[in-house]
Amino acid sequence: GENVEQHPSTLSVQEGDSAVIKCTYSDSASNYFPWYKQELGKGPQLIIDIRSNVGEKKDQRIAVTLNKTAKHFSLHITETQPEDSAVYFCAAAVPYQKVTFGTGTKLQVIP
């Protein structure tokens, strides 16, 4: 089955700096890669997703890149703000199979 690795497990950045979270996946059949933000005591919230026919997608301060050859995808947050502090999960999905989540990255934005 699909295996998703996520790094780093924790990340501290100064407010205003950029944060990058990286994930790798194992199954070349995966074609959908969502990213979720989970605040303490709440459920995950979808923040951005990308499909395998696209190499990059951007939504304001958030961008995701996908390298299908290397089976890597990354989340980039620019101009970080304290409210960006949360746990972020990447995920990969093979058609008609369950979504596989990464192990999570705890992001702390220091004011």
Instruction: Write out the residues near another protein by the rule CB under 8 A.
Output: 31-32, 34, 36, 41-46, 49, 51, 89, 93, 95-96, 98-99, 101-104, 106
User: Whole-angstrom Cα distance, residue 15 to residue 52?
Assistant: 32
| Closer residue to another protein, CB minimum distance, 83 or 111 | 83
Minimum distance, C-beta of residue 68 to another protein, in the bound complex (Å): 15
Rounded to a whole number of angstroms, the minimum distance from the CB of residue 65 to another protein is 19
Beta strands, E only, the chain: 4-7, 10-14, 19-25, 32-38, 45-51, 56-59, 62-67, 72-77, 86-93, 99-101, 105-110
- Nearest distance from residue 104's CB to another protein, in Å? 5
